[in-house]
């Protein structure tokens, strides 16, 4: 265990690797210091953290109270309606200004932002999930340069789009009157969900830097396993370059080739050491150095890390219905794990230690797969690095959940850039098992009565469905075929609806008969699908956690604080019903909290036992959900502060057997 948890936590993403230190390499200058924040149109200025978000800066400056305390959520909705501006200064010397290219690189801007250098607009951002890169050399001067990032409220930006669409789009769990989340390429859970609050954040939420380079640089590297036997592994390296590659050479694994914009190199490793998921073998990782040379001078260098493994999704007709299971290195494996959501409403607060601790908890519980749910984010590099080292496979949703989305050319182009960037960033990780188009959109469209609820005409319905197919059956799979063809794609999850018994014989399943359907826990025993992607039951967190967000008078189910904290539409009533059914009516709030955790543990135990005992028919069980984004009642087995509920230990016992 010590060997696993002591890996460096500052590694760059696999496929980007580590740049060697050498005078002619691209020079990188982090821009994280001396930022200020102000509300547009006001004079008050505050110190700001970058990476960061407005809510945390306001908290740190004493402008607002803790957003998680009592019902402060409701008092702080004004923040999302304002525009905010961040400012700092870039100091450039003559040496830096002599470089051919000086690029300003934002790894993440949340979400609508106008960026200015010395008062000149250099870029406009409209997607939280994309990297934004712009050559700003012509805007810079020796010495002090002003960098300004102004953020625009999503509500104001998208109000006209909402009005011009002509119909309302389903919008996840938004409960406000004006719902703009379908138009906003931003984490859907920020607009509210049935386990979290509404905090529509903005800010420079990932690192920002200057990157100065000359004629060319290494843009990205793709490593794939093209053939695998016990004796040897065949690998393919695809190296993409930016800039003018005339007269340049690449050295890949000691072999020199004439550089082009896109370069392919084949490599065979004899007696390869394979990468295996947790519980099936070791997680061996290789690395290779790639150099870009011009007349013998080193221009750029990357060390790429990768694992050797093959992974297949087997989804085909069989004697029962339609299979859905994974083969790793040619072996069918039963997947045991959970659904993962972002660890905080305010993403830059999540530390490397929190990532490490949570993922080690998953590994120690015997999990070999986590699903990164589509209403959150494409996670930070450290998340995937740790999953590589711990043997936790990743079912990766694209960031679409519980809504329908527009299909105009600007939106589609934005999604294309987002999907391409994140595939290129993540594709080399051996933990990556599956690309999934969205969460619950197709099953919702076909089974949740949206056409009637929103009063769509036949033409409206046809347009919305055509937009859906354009994204998830055309655009995204075409990008995957080009950028990551070795990883399987499924357009949506689930592929089967739990409303009919026959559906449990086919493909992926979200089973919510228990909870949303009001069924008893015994229903888990005979509702077992081929791959159980979601199921679960709520509980409250420990009293120690509840005390951190509430006063003593709040600690009743009837208090305004506790009613607001419960975000599920059936919430407390369903928990009380099952406590009474399987135990007894609780005598007070503290006993209710304790028994809520016990019935959650019982529910997951009964569900997972049913899935494991039907191995073969069922080949995967991912309960909802592993973790929390704030302190409150939810389906999590580990609460916001890292406290493990009884359900965690029930899962651990079953998964580790």
Contacts of 574 (CB under 8 A, 6+ apart): 515, 518, 538, 568
Classify residue 595 as exposed, middle or buried by CB count within 10 Å of its CB (0-12, 13-18, 19+).
buried
Q: What are phi and psi of 8, to 5 degrees?
A: -60, 140
C-alpha 302/C-alpha 179 separation (Å) is: 44
> Residue 426 belongs to what H/E stretch?
helix 409-426
C-alpha 141/C-alpha 61 separation (Å) is: 32
Contacts of 89 (CB under 8 A, 6+ apart): 34, 144, 145, 146, 147
Q: Cis omega (within 30 of 0) on the bond before 625?
A: yes
Burial 152-185 (b: 16+ CB within 10 A, else e): bbbbebbeebbeebeeebbbbbbeeeebbbbbbb
The secondary structure of 104-123 as a DSSP string is EEES--BSEEEEEETTEEEE
> For residue 118, how many C-alpha atoms fall within 13 Å in the half-sphere facing its CB?
13
Could you tell me if 418 and 130 are in contact, meaning their C-beta atoms sit under 8 angstroms apart? yes
Encoded tokens for 581: 């059914």
> Residue 597 belongs to what H/E stretch?
helix 589-613
3-class SS at 179?
A: coil
C-alpha 248/C-alpha 263 separation (Å) is: 12
Tokens 């990782």 label which residue? 285
Encoded tokens for 396: 């990766």
Could you tell me if 530 and 618 are in contact, meaning their C-beta atoms sit under 8 angstroms apart? yes
| CA-atom Rg of the chain in angstroms | 25
C-alpha 457/C-alpha 463 separation (Å) is: 10
**Cβ atoms within 10 A of the Cβ of 95, count?**
9
Could you tell me if 348 and 205 are in contact, meaning their C-beta atoms sit under 8 angstroms apart? yes
Closest to 372 measured CA to CA, from 189, 102, 157: 189
Q: Could you list the active site residues?
A: 440
Cα angle at 183 between 401 and 473, to 5 degrees? 55
Tokens 């826990």 label which residue? 521
Contacts of 237 (CB under 8 A, 6+ apart): 221, 222, 223, 252, 253, 263, 264, 265, 266, 267, 288, 290, 304
Cα angle at 204 between 146 and 122, to 5 degrees? 45
C-alpha 173/C-alpha 170 separation (Å) is: 9
């Amino acid at each position: 265990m010590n060997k696993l948890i002591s890996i460096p936590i500052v590694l760059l993403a696999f496929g980007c690797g580590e740049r060697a230190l050498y005078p002619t390499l691209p020079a990188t200058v982090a821009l994280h210091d001396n930022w200020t924040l102000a509300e547009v149109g006001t004079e008050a200025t505050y110190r700001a953290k970058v990476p960061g978000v407005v809510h945390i800066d306001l908290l740190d400056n004493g402008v607002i109270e803790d957003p998680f305390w009592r019902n402060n959520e409701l008092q702080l909705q004004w923040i999302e309606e304002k525009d905010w501006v961040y400012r700092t200064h870039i100091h450039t010397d003559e040496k830096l200004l002599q470089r051919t290219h000086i690029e300003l690189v934002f790894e993440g801007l949340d979400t609508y932002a106008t960026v200015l250098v010395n008062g000149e607009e250099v870029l406009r951002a409209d997607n939280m999930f994309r990297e934004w890169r712009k050559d700003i050399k012509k805007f810079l001067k020796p010495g002090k340069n002003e960098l300004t990032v102004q953020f625009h409220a999503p509500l104001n930006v998208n109000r006209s789009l909402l009005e011009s669409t002509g119909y309302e789009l389903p919008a996840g769990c938004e409960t406000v009157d004006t719902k703009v989340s379908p138009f906003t390429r931003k984490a859907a859970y920020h607009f509210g969900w049935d386990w979290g609050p509404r905090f529509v954040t903005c800010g420079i939420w990932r690192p920002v830097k200057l990157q100065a380079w000359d004629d060319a640089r290494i843009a990205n590297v793709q490593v794939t396993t093209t053939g695998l036997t016990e004796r040897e592994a065949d690998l393919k390296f695809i190296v993409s370059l930016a800039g003018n590659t005339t007269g340049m050479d690449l050295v890949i694994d000691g072999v020199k080739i004439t550089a082009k914009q896109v370069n392919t190199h084949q490599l065979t490793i004899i007696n390869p050491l394979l990468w295996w998921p947790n519980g099936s073998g070791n997680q061996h990782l290789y690395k290779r150095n790639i150099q870009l040379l011009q007349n013998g001078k080193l221009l750029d260098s990357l060390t790429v890390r990768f694992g050797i493994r093959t992974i297949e999704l087997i989804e085909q007709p069989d004697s029962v219905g339609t299979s859905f299971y994974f083969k790793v290195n040619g072996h069918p494996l039963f997947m045991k794990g959970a659904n993962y959501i972002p660890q905080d409403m305010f993403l830059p607060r999540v530390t490397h230690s929190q990532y490490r601790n949570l993922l080690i908890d998953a590994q120690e519980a015997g999990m070999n797969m986590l699903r990164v749910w589509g209403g959150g984010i494409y996670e930070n590099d450290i998340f995937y690095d740790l999953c590589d080292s711990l043997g936790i496979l990743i079912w990766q949703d694209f960031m679409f959940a519980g809504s329908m989305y527009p299909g105009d050319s600007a939106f589609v182009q934005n999604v294309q850039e987002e999907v391409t960037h994140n595939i290129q960033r993540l594709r080399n990780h051996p933990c990556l098992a599956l690309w999934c188009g969205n969460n619950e959109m197709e099953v919702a469209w076909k089974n949740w009565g949206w056409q009637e609820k929103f009063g769509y005409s036949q033409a409206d319905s046809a347009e919305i469905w055509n937009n859906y197919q354009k994204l998830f059956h055309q655009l995204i799979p075409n990008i995957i075929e080009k950028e990551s063809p070795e990883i399987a794609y499924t357009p949506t999850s689930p592929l089967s609806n739990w409303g009919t018994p026959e559906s449990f014989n086919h493909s992926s399943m979200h089973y919510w008969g228990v909870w949303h359907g009001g069924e008893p826990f015994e229903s888990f025993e005979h509702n077992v699908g081929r791959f159980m992607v979601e199921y679960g039951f709520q509980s409250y967190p420990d009293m120690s956690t509840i005390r951190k967000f509430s006063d003593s008078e709040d600690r009743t189910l009837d208090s305004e604080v506790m009613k607001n904290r419960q975000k599920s539409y059936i919430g407390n009533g369903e928990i009380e019903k099952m406590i009474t059914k399987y135990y007894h009516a609780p005598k007070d709030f503290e006993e209710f909290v304790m028994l809520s955790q016990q019935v959650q543990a019982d529910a997951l135990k009964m569900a997972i036992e049913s899935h494991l005992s039907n191995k073969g028919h069922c080949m995967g069980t991912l309960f909802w959900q592993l973790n929390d984004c704030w302190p409150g009642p939810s389906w999590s087995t580990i609460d916001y502060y890292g406290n493990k509920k009884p359900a965690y230990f029930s899962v651990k016992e079953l998964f580790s057997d």
